[in-house]
Amino acid sequence: MLESYAAIGMMISTAFFMGGSLLLLGWLIRPSKPSPAKEQPYESGVPDVRPPRGRYTSRFYIVALLFVIFDIEAIFLFPWAVAFDQLALYGYIQVLVFISLLLFGLLYEWKKGALEWA
Amino acid sequence: MPLELVHPDWGLIVPQLIIVGTIIAILTADLILPRDKQGAVSWIAMVGLVASLASLLTIDWTAGDTTFNEMFRADSFSLFINIVVLAAGVLAVMISSSYVQSLEERGTMPMPEYLVLVMFSILGAMIVGASGDLLILFIGIEMGSLATYVLTGFARRRMTSLEGALKYFLLGSFSSAILVFGMAWIYGTTGTTSIPEISQQVGTIMSGEQFPEPALLLALLLVAIGLAFKIAAVPFHMWTPDAYQGAPTPVSAYMSVVPKVAGFAALVRVLAEGLGPLSDTWLLLIAILAIITMFYGNVVAISQRDVKRMLAYSSIGHTGYILVGLAAYSNDVPIDMSIGSVLFYLFAYTFMNIGAFAVVTWLQHRGQGVDLDSFNGLGVRSPLTALAMTVFMFSLMGVPPLIGFYAKYYVILAAIEAEMIWLAVAVVLASAVSAFFYLRVVVAMYFNNPEGEWRPQATPLLGLGLLIMAVGTVALGFFSGPVLDLAMNWVDAFEV
Amino acid sequence: MNELMPEQFMFLSAALFIIGMVGVLTRRNVLVIFMCVELMLASVNIAFVGFAWEFSQMTGQIFALFVIAIAAAEAVIGLGIIMALTRQRDTVDINEVRELRQ
């Protein structure tokens, strides 16, 4: 039991040692002379005119939010799928009702223009 | 393992189904109707709410039938909650339709979306009242809360509205997490989420040697804290003043009633019914909460100049009074008054509190602000509105023979019946404190000179709503008997 | 050693819940507060599934499914409010959002 983890443990510690020692070595031997020009994101390029974290258009957020809603509603289909055989036709109709309600929601936001990209 | 599919009794959930149908109808109308005709959807909402109220008559509530594997119950308690919530819904739609269409930067608040959110919140409260299972209870509470968060921030161009919504949302979701963690521990100690079965299991645990089981006490505490946030009991009230002040005024009116009713329904379902055998433990907790809440709310309300904020603190005070009714509960000898007085208070509170906010809305339609000075000289400018506001203020204060007096009277009776004289005395003292700020509004209306610009405007539906609430506050005070009888039927509901 | 004990679920869930709660109470960034609330809800799910496993029942698992769905709905509404707020003013610091009287 424990022995099988020993190999993994050694693997992990070796990985950390390798990575760590290389970083340490580099930090020890490299010259460090910072200057304002070097600090820029693009050292030899055009000076940047606005903050790097620019504002995204809010459509990205709206689409992401809509995705989260519809994505999560799918979890109610999993229990149904597992018990599909036992639930038979009655369960199938119930799920159809559920999905048609979701479809109505989708139609609503489509018609409202939430999915328009332009 | 073959599954036994139980076909649910759809007849028992007709009131809720009508609300769902109304929501779909409003959304469809939103898609079909042109933008300038969307005011018509408020009639769809009214018809739906009234139809739902009427459909309450089709169910035999005394039988205590259950459906969906006992998750959903049609008993007298849920009947009363349904009545209160639907009545509050009708009144809220009446006072808000003109506000949503013409105030707050005209056109930024779409009427159909507003109504859909109101209807969802109503549906959530109805589900909480009818819940026989922690799962249904939680879903109902969340459905109501989520819709109310959005309603609070509905004036989305106004920073204060969004700020109120943000605070309400952050504390509300925090409290939901605490509540559902408590539910997880109730499930962990009893092995069931069905409320009647929890009651049995807790009774068994109590009779065993391992008393009181720490996990159960933890669960009790978590659930009580989670729900105390929802009903705005001190010290879990921090969101209340900001949310009420920031929200559009009809929304403040609405959210001071329906989410509170849902919160109290959940408290009664979980504490009094599910954890009833533990009542010795939580009764003192609720009593202390009641005292702190009523005094804090009423004392802080004195220093408020903003009327919406003052009414927010006053609603915190009323939460304290209602909690007294719950604190009078006893598991051994059923005290009819206890939960009955809670229900009656919620009913009375619906009329007088929505009424008070409706008068503020009425003033806003006429170009007035929401601070106390806006009420100056209202007695000269509009004697009828001033009279209505006086009725609401006196009723909130508890002056006989208005409905607010009877509500407090029954709560005090319940406390005396439960031999908690000190609690009864506290209610009287807190009411005396509250007279100070309620009377100040009345004084401003009748003894100060009118100031500021006055823009007359016709708001027929709002006026009708005000009339109904003012008449209801007076008339139901005189004829409180039938309502009280209905409220007392909760005793049948709990004999599982 | 191989056996999963119910207590392990409980400790994990309680630890996550407390981490989330402390986060809500101490952080000032709205988004971080919100993530902490989600963490608390996740801990609730662990508790439910753990209890369901202990009792060999389905109830707890079903409850967890509903908590997930509700948490998602809450997330969408919360982010919607935060989005509307950042459009009005470019901040997610809760202490800078104070126009209402304290």
pLDDT higher than 90, residue B369: no
- Residue C99 has a pLDDT of 67
Where is pLDDT greater, at B33 or B469? B469
**How many domains is chain A partitioned into structurally?**
1
Q: Tell me the pLDDT of chain A (118 aa) as tens digits.
A: 566 677 778 888 998 898 899 999 998 988 888 887 777 766 666 766 766 666 666 678 888 888 888 888 888 898 888 888 888 888 889 899 999 999 999 999 888 888 887 6
Kindly state the average pLDDT of the residues B192-201: 91
Enter the pTM of the model. 0.89
Residue A41 lies inside a defined structural domain of this protein: no
Q: Does B428 touch chain C (CB under 8 A)?
A: no
How distant, in Å, are the alpha carbons of B70, B71, B207, C91 from that of A80? 21, 19, 40, 43
Indicate if the pLDDT at residue B2 is higher than 60: no
In a domain, C61, yes or no: yes
Q: What is the pLDDT of residue B331?
A: 75
Name which of C41, C45, C65 to mutate to probe chain A: the one with the most chain A Cβ atoms within 10 A of its Cβ.
C65
A46-60, B275-289, B396-410: least confident range: A46-60
**Confidence band for C102, pLDDT divided at 50, 70 and 90:** very low
Are residues A1 and C69, on separate chains, in Cβ contact within 8 Å? Answer: no
What is the predicted pLDDT for the residue at B419? 87
Interface of C with A (CB under 8 A): 1-2, 62, 65, 68-69, 72-73, 75-76, 79-80, 83, 87
Q: Which residues contact B200 (CB under 8 A, 6 or more apart)?
A: none
**pLDDT tens, position by position, B316-343:** 999 999 999 999 988 776 667 888 999 9
- Dmax over CA atoms of chain A, in Å, equals 74
Q: Which chain A positions have a beta carbon within 8 Å of C82's beta carbon?
A: none
Question: Which of C12, C21, C70 should we substitute to test contact with B (largest number of B Cβ atoms within 10 Å)?
Answer: C70
Q: Is residue B341 a contact partner of residue B328, using CB atoms and an 8 Å limit?
A: yes
Asked if residue B452 has pLDDT above 50, the reply is yes
In a domain, C45, yes or no: yes
Please tell me the predicted confidence (pLDDT) of residue B212: 64
Render pLDDT for B435-448 as a digit per residue (tens, 0 to 9). 999 999 999 999 98
Q: Could you report the per-residue pLDDT of B298-311, keeping only the tens digit for each? A: 999 999 989 999 99
Q: Are B76 and B101 in contact (CB under 8 A)?
A: no
Residue of higher predicted confidence among A87 and B350: B350
User: Does residue C34 lie in a domain region?
Assistant: yes
* Of the listed ranges B313-317, B319-323, C88-92, the one predicted with least confidence: C88-92
Whether the complex's predicted ipTM is more than 0.90 is answered with yes
pLDDT in tens, B137-188: 999 999 999 999 999 999 888 888 999 999 999 999 999 999 999 999 999 9
Handedness of CA B196, B201, B207, B213 (dihedral sign): negative
Q: Which residue has the tokens 């549906």?
A: B123
Structure token pair of residue A93: 């109709």
DSSP assignment letter at A83: T
3-state SS of chain C?
A: CCCCCHHHHHHHHHHHHHHHHHHHHHCCEHHHHHHHHHHHHHHHHHHHHHHHHHHCCCHHHHHHHHHHHHHHHHHHHHHHHHHHHHHHCCCCEHHHCCCCCC
Is the pLDDT at B496 greater than 50? The verdict is no
Lowest average pLDDT, out of A5-19, B100-114, B349-363, C35-49, goes to B100-114
Q: Which of A6-15, B120-129, B455-464, B479-488: highest mean pLDDT?
A: B120-129
For the domain that residue C60 is a member of, what is the CATH number? 1.10.287.3510
pLDDT given for residue A32 in this prediction: 82
Structure confidence at residue B1 (pLDDT): 44
CB B19 within 8 A of CB B121: no
User: Considering only CB atoms, which chain B residues are within 8 Å of A86?
Assistant: 2-3, 5
Query: Which residues, in sequence order, are bridge partners of residue B371?
Result: B306
Q: In chain B, what is the straight-line distance between the N-terminal and C-terminal CA atoms, in Å?
A: 30
**Which amino acid is it at B496?**
V
| Average of per-residue pLDDT values in chain B | 89
Q: What is the CATH number of the domain that holds A67?
A: 1.20.58
Cβ B30 vs Cβ B38: under 8 Å: yes
Nearest to B177 among C44, C85, C97 (CB): C44
pLDDT for A1 equals 55
- Integer Cα distance of B362 and B457 in angstroms: 9
Closest of B16, B28, B141 to residue B89, by C-alpha: B16
pLDDT band at C61 (very low <50, low <70, confident <90, very high): very high
**Adjacent-strand bridge partners of B131:** B72
Range of the domain at C33: 7-90
Q: Which of C69, C75, C80 sits opposite A73 (nearest CB)?
A: C69
In a domain, A33, yes or no: no
Least confident segment among A20-29, B210-219, C28-37: B210-219
Q: Is residue A89 part of a domain?
A: yes
- Name the domain count of chain C: 1
A·C CB contacts under 8 A: 29
Question: Residue B72 forms beta bridges with which residues?
Answer: B67, B131
Q: What is the mean pLDDT of residues B9-28?
A: 92
For residues B403 and B348, is the Cβ–Cβ distance under 8 A?
A: yes
CB contact under 8 A, A72 and C69: yes
**Token duo for residue B29:** 């109308």
* pLDDT beyond 50 at B216: yes
**Domain for residue C96, yes or no?**
no
